[in-house]
Chains A and B, each alone.
Chain A
Amino acid sequence: MTEILFFFEVVLAGMLAGTMYSLVALGFVLIYKASATFNFAQGAMVFFAVLSFVGFMELGLPFALAFVVTVFLMIAVGYATERLVLEPLMSQSEDTMLMATIGLAFVLQGLAQAVWGVEVRRLDLGIGDFPIPWVAENLGLFVSALDVAAGVVAAVLIVILALLFRFTKMGLGLRAVADDPGAAASIGIPLKTIMLMVWSAAGIVALVAGMLWGARAGVQFALVDLALKALPVLIIGGFSSIPGAIVGGLIIGVVEKTLEVYVGPFFGGGIEGWAPYVLAIFFLLWRPEGLFGEKIIRRV
Chain B
Amino acid sequence: MHDKPLFMTYSRGDVANFVVLMALAFAVVPLMIETDYWYSSILIPWLCLALAAIGQQFVMGYAGQLALGAAGFMAAGAFACYNIELRIPWMPFPLSLLFSGLIAAAFGVLFGLPSLRVRGIYLMVATLASQFFIIWMIDKFGWFKNYDSSGIITAQDIVIAGRSFTSPMEMYLVVAVVVTVLTILAVNMTRGSVGRNWMAVRDMDIAAESMGISLLRAKLQAFALSAFYCGVAGALFAFTYLKSLEPVAFDIKLSFQILFMVILGGLGTINGAFIGAGFILLFPVVLNTVGNAWFHGMIDATIISAIEQVVFGALIIVFLIYEPLGIAKLWENLKSRLFSRRPVAEAAAAKQEPAG
B contact residues, range: 35 or more
Contact A274 B136 (CB under 8 A): yes
Q: Which of B117, B141, B315, B324 contacts A284 (CB 8 A)?
A: B117
CA distance A103 to B263 in the complex (A): 10
Q: Mark A258-278, 1 if CB is under 8 A from B, else 0.
A: 000000000111110110011
CA distance A235 to B117 in the complex (A): 13
Going nearest first, the 6 A-B pairs with the smallest beta carbon separation are A106-B313, A110-B309, A103-B316, A277-B129, A110-B310, A113-B306
Known: A111-B310, A273-B132. A98 touches B66 (CB 8 A): yes
Contact A89 B320 (CB under 8 A): yes
Identify the stretch in B119-127, B143-151, B169-177, B342-350 within 8 Å (CB) of chain A at 4 or more residues.
B119-127
Contact A225 B252 (CB under 8 A): yes
- Tell me, yes or no, whether B317 is within 8 Å of chain A by CB: yes
Residues of B at the A interface (CB closer than 8 Å) are 64, 66, 114, 117-122, 124-126, 128-129, 132-133, 136, 139-141, 206, 252, 256, 259, 263, 300, 302-303, 306-317, 320-321, 324
Chain A residue contacts of B122, Cβ below 8 A:
235, 284, 288
Give the size of the chain A interface in residues (CB under 8 angstroms): 49
Q: Which of A103, A114, A228, A235 contacts B317 (CB 8 A)?
A: A103
What is the CB-to-nearest-CB distance from A224 to chain B, in angstroms, rounded to a whole number?
10
CA distance A248 to B306 in the complex (A): 32
Identify the interface centre among B259, B313, B316: most chain A CB within 10 Å of its CB: B313
Residues of A at the B interface (CB closer than 8 Å) are 38, 40, 84-85, 88-89, 92, 94-96, 98-100, 102-114, 117-118, 225, 228, 231-232, 235, 239, 267-271, 273-274, 277-278, 280-281, 284-285, 288, 300
Contact A280 B313 (CB under 8 A): no
Q: Which of A94, A102, A114 contacts B310 (CB 8 A)?
A: A114
For this complex, 6 residue pairs linking A to B, each with C-beta atoms less than 8 Å apart, are A38-B120, A110-B309, A110-B310, A273-B136, A277-B126, A284-B117
- Chain B's closest residue to A40 (CB) is B121
CA distance A270 to B139 in the complex (A): 9
CA distance A273 to B314 in the complex (A): 29
CA distance A114 to B310 in the complex (A): 9
CA distance A268 to B147 in the complex (A): 13
